Amino acid sequence: MSKFKYHIMTVTIIALIILAGCGNENEAESSDVSKEMDYTITGLEPGAGQTETNEIAIETYDNLEGWTQDLSSTGAMLSALDEAIKAEKPIIITAWSPHYMFAKWDIKYLEDPEGVYGEEEDVITIVREGLQKDAPEAYEILDRITFELEDVENALLDAQELEMDEVADKWVEENKDTIANWTEGLDEVSGESFELVTTPWDDALFSGNVAKKVLTDFGYDVELTPVDPAVLFEAIATGESDASLSPWVSQTHGELYEQYEGEFEDLGPNLTGAKIGLAVPSYMEIDSLTDLKPKK
């Protein structure tokens, strides 16, 4: 064998040994991280929708065998996240967007190749039938209203210190150009009543309060009422309420959407990128649920 061929073979063998070592090291790191987290997902309240979805994930992924959830409350989960990040320790939490957790901490979703948590969703604006004829200015404003995910999450962080109507007022004041685009070319009204309904979720309360502020400044007498999602769809379908910016489709409120489809008008998304899943601090060197290890 020539010295050149011998040299090439030696280099190749060394490279393979290094790669194998890196692979074993990464696998060991992943195993250690899972063990350090005690094979536990820091979760929400018992009975919450995502709590049940987490159980499905544990059953679906073979590498999550032996994993459990630590259930208490959203506040307790976020406190645990804060403590873990301050200490740069590993933690895996139940997450959803939009939520202020993504504005306050540097965290990332873990990939979900089995699709347990579903695809990203849209938050849509729906209005009662006949609204375009009865209140064309409000209809047009609502049709133009859209939000960026990051803006909503930053606003929800502000809501930890302020009331939601104050957060909406602040956002409208800081986004005058956006509001001008929503109302451009429309004539103000004078005291016409308008009924908005919203789910009681924070992101929906924010968008609902922004819409209320904009419509009120435009001359409408606006009432904003938080209700259960089923009541919301029924109120729009029957004409009892005029509009909502709250529904998540096509999964979260998909059944209600289908149940009342044809009895309301869908103006399309006011927010894209809504989702649920499991998240970890960005400093953790794992990217997928499949990077976790089963409990031995």
pTM for the full model? 0.85
Give residue 43's domain range.
Answer: 3-119+277-291
Tell me the sheet residues that pair with 193.
Answer: 221
Q: Which residues contact 255 (CB under 8 A, 6 or more apart)?
A: none
72-98 burial, b at 16+ Cβ within 10 Å, e below that, comes to eeeeebbebbeebbeeeebbbbbbbbb
Give residue 15's pLDDT: 43
Query: By the 8 A CB rule, do 55 and 69 touch?
Result: yes
Q: Is residue 296 part of a domain?
A: no
In this structure, are 159 and 197 located in the same domain?
yes
In this structure, are 136 and 270 located in the same domain?
yes
Mean pLDDT of 182-196: 96
Alpha-helix runs per DSSP H in 135-198: 136-144, 149-158, 164-174, 176-183
Give Cα 113 to chain centroid, integer Å. Answer: 18
In this structure, are 29 and 156 located in the same domain?
no
Give residue 265's pLDDT: 98
In this structure, are 208 and 287 located in the same domain?
no
Taking Cα atoms as reference points, which of 133, 135, 147, 144 lies closest to residue 267?
144
In this structure, are 96 and 20 located in the same domain?
yes
Report whether pLDDT(139) > 50.
Answer: yes
User: CATH number of the domain that 187 lies in?
Assistant: 3.10.105.10
Mean pLDDT of 266-291: 97
Percent of the chain having pLDDT more than 70?
Answer: 90
Of 8-17, 156-165, 214-223, 239-248, least confident by mean pLDDT is 8-17
The label of the residue with tokens 């993504």 reads: 102
Helix (H) or strand (E) holding 197: strand 193-198
Give residue 30's pLDDT: 52
User: CATH number of the domain that 86 lies in?
Assistant: 3.40.190.100
How far is Cα 94 from Cα 290, in angstroms, rounded to an integer? 16
pLDDT band at 179; cut points 50, 70, 90: very high
In this structure, are 81 and 191 located in the same domain?
no
Q: Is residue 15 part of a domain?
A: yes
Q: What is the CA radius of gyration of the chain?
A: 25
pLDDT band at 49; cut points 50, 70, 90: confident
For residue 219, the 8-state DSSP code is: T
In this structure, are 269 and 282 located in the same domain?
no
Q: Is residue 147 part of a domain?
A: yes
Better-scored residue on pLDDT, 47 or 104: 104
In this structure, are 79 and 35 located in the same domain?
yes
Give residue 255's pLDDT: 93
In this structure, are 170 and 184 located in the same domain?
yes
Q: Is residue 162 part of a domain?
A: yes
In this structure, are 100 and 125 located in the same domain?
no
In this structure, are 126 and 199 located in the same domain?
yes
For residue 288, the 8-state DSSP code is: B
How many domains does the structure of the chain reveal? 2
In this structure, are 20 and 140 located in the same domain?
no
